Amino acid sequence: SNSMLLNVIARPGNCFDAMRHLLEDNHEPRPAQRKHILKAISLYRGLLQAGVVQQLDEPDEYGRRARLTVDLQRDFALNQPLSPFALAAIELLDIDAPGYALDVVSVIESTLDDPRQILMAQQHAARGEAVAQMKADGIEYDERMELLEEVTWPKPLAELLDPAFETYRGGHPWVSETPLSPKSVVRDMIERAMTFSELVSHYGLARSEGLVLRYLADAYRALRQTVPDVARTEELEDIIEWLGELIRQVDSSLLDEWESLTNPGVESDDQQVAFGADVPRPLSANTRAFKVMVRNAMFKRVELAARRRWYDLAQLGDGLDAEDWEDLLELYFEEYSEIGTGPDARGPQLFSVEMDTDVWRVRQTLHDPQGDHGWALLAEVNLAESDAAGEVVFDEFEVAEG
Helices (H), 172-286: 186-191, 196-203, 209-226, 234-262
Indicate the burial class of 26 (C-beta count within 10 angstroms; 0-12, 13-18, 19 or more). exposed
CB of 340 closer than 8 Å to CB of 369: yes
What number of other Cβ atoms are within 10 A of residue 92's Cβ? Answer: 12
What number of other Cβ atoms are within 10 A of residue 295's Cβ? Answer: 24
- Which of the 8 DSSP states describes residue 76? -
We find that the CATH architecture of domain 298-401 is Roll (3.10)
The residues of the chain that CATH labels 3.10.450 are 298-401
- What are the beta bridge partners of residue 355? 360
Instruction: Give the SS3 label for residue 340.
Output: strand
Distance CA 187, CA 210 (A): 19
In 3D space, the residue among 400, 401, 356 whose CA is nearest the CA of residue 380 turns out to be: 356
Predicted TM-score (pTM) of this structure: 0.74
pLDDT of residue 353: 95
pLDDT of residue 25: 92
Residue 45: alpha-carbon gap to chain centroid: 29
Pairing of strands 394-401, 375-382: antiparallel
Distance CA 266, CA 264 (A): 6
What are the angstrom distances between the C-alpha of 4 and each of 70, 85, 355?
17, 17, 44
Residue 150: alpha-carbon gap to chain centroid: 26
Instruction: Give the SS3 label for residue 376.
Output: strand
CB of 348 closer than 8 Å to CB of 243: no
Helix pair 196-203, 234-262: axis angle to 10 deg = 100
Distance CA 150, CA 139 (A): 15
Sequential DSSP letters for 289-327: HHHHHHHHHHHHHHHHHHTT-HHHHHTT-SS--HHHHHH
Distance CA 144, CA 4 (A): 50
Q: Which residues of 48-70 are buried (b: 16+ CB within 10 A; e: fewer)?
A: eebebbeeeeeeeeeebbbeeee
Q: What averages of pLDDT result for each successive group of 10 residues across the chain (402 residues)? A: 84 92 93 92 83 87 86 64 89 93 97 96 93 89 88 95 91 76 96 90 92 94 90 94 90 59 55 42 88 93 95 92 95 95 88 93 95 95 90 92 80
CB of 295 closer than 8 Å to CB of 372: no
pLDDT of residue 392: 92
Backbone angles phi, psi at 254, to 5 degrees: -65, -50
Contacts of 178 (CB under 8 A, 6+ apart): 81, 82
pLDDT of residue 122: 96
Instruction: Give the SS3 label for residue 5.
Output: helix
Contacts of 391 (CB under 8 A, 6+ apart): 195, 283, 293, 297
Contacts of 360 (CB under 8 A, 6+ apart): 294, 353, 354, 380, 381, 383
